[in-house]
Amino acid sequence: MKLSIYQADAFTDKLFGGNPAAVVPLSEWLSNNEMQKIAAENNVSETAFFIPQGENFELRWFTPTFEIDLCGHATLATAHILFTELSYGKDEIHFHTLKAGTLTVKREGDLYVLDFPSRPAVKSQVPDELLTAIGDKKPIEVLRARDIMLVYEHETDIHELKPDFSALAKIDKDGVIVTAKGDHSDFVSRFFIPAAGINEDPVTGSAHCNLIPYWAEKLGKNELHAYQISERRGELWCELKADRVLMKGKAITYLKGSIYI
């Protein structure tokens, strides 16, 4: 069987920036095992698979080790490939997903606008060993939604964190968001999820489903400019809109090829 595959860098307009995602168009679903093996072989943080559903699409995402319930950058990459490589003719795409409902991506000039669910985090507690594994600096707040969110006082605190990834992978299977008010943006973040085979995710759209409602409340405004300050670095323009979050970003195609299975 021969399948097309694409790879795009999301939340950036520069190659080798943002977050790379593989995109595999399908006419019908492969088995879960086959999709998981393809994702492991690709070895990027997420591989997106989609099939047509009338004028819309069904969408699923796999990390190198498991299927995930929501992924922003791979959704953005999928929309980018549909618009730029697969001649999708409308300016809005609806993706139907199993656990995150319907996600919409609109084309707005050179930006893509993702319409995702808001997932506010609530105050929580985490094991002391997790905080030790994250680094020497202690957060000023600890919250949790799907992932743990640790809030720090300064942007420099986020830059300076050096997690022990092997220890972190043994403590919690979910991701850890670290965030602080930005020096040159409204907020900054990083995202760690070593249990999924990804020590640090370069730019994480799903984490912003937690970050946007938090910072909108803290800063008293619904329109926010954010950086994820990983080595590859990503930039997002965000808005809280009732129970939805809007994320604007760019993408650029890196690779087009074929898979033989």
Residues marked as catalytic? 46
- β-pairing, 244-249 vs 234-241, is antiparallel
Task: Provide the token pair at 139.
Answer: 């957060």
CB atoms within 10 A of CB 254: 15
